[in-house]
Amino acid sequence: MKMNVKSVQKVQKKNRSSAKVSNDMQMQRGSRSSCCHRRDGAVEGIQEAGQDLSELFCQLRSPETAAKLVRAIRCRNRKVVEDLIGQNCHVVCFFHQGRMACVRIACVFGECCDVRITFDICVSMGNCNNF
């Protein structure tokens, strides 16, 4: 195998100690995202969680929305549950607990995902089409 080299440039070696300092500084800058330089992202994440989750539970005051969620939990319908709970949350799993059908939901809040809230919603067992 022949290798053709068209141009070769001389590269100067940097002083070892100055290169180490500059590499350390670049690693520190590169390893942290800009959002992590704020005061405390967890506080903002908790505030966002409070607002989003209160809106979620307020919409469940509607009998139609509540019935839709109950049916989705009993029928293990991930898409319907996720449509109701919003974009910050997702279904982790469905499970049974005694005579209850349950869904575990995980929500992440804050610009740097500083807050994670996980909760279960359980409803009495029943036919999933029982409406």
What is the per-residue pLDDT across 105-131, written as a single tens digit (0 to 9) for each?
Answer: 999 998 888 999 999 999 999 887 754
pTM above threshold 0.75: no
Whether the per-residue pLDDT at 29 is higher than 80: the answer is no
Whether the per-residue pLDDT at 38 is higher than 50: the answer is yes
Distance, C-alpha 120 to centroid of its chain: 17
How does pLDDT run across 18-27, given as a tens digit for each residue? 333 333 333 4
Q: What is the torsional sign of CA 100, 57, 89, 33?
A: negative
| pLDDT computed for residue 41 by the predictor | 87
Specify the DSSP element, H or E, that contains 23.
helix 16-31
Residue 39 burial class via C-beta count within 10 angstroms: exposed 0-12, middle 13-18, buried 19 and up: exposed
At 64, list the tokens. 């139609």
**Contact call for residues 126 and 67 (beta carbons, < 8 A):** no
Phi-psi region of 113 (alpha: psi -120 to 50; beta: other; left: phi over 0): left
| pLDDT computed for residue 98 by the predictor | 93
| pLDDT computed for residue 127 by the predictor | 83
| pLDDT computed for residue 13 by the predictor | 44
Beta strand 115-124 pairing with 89-97: unpaired
Max Cα–Cα distance, the chain, nearest Å: 79
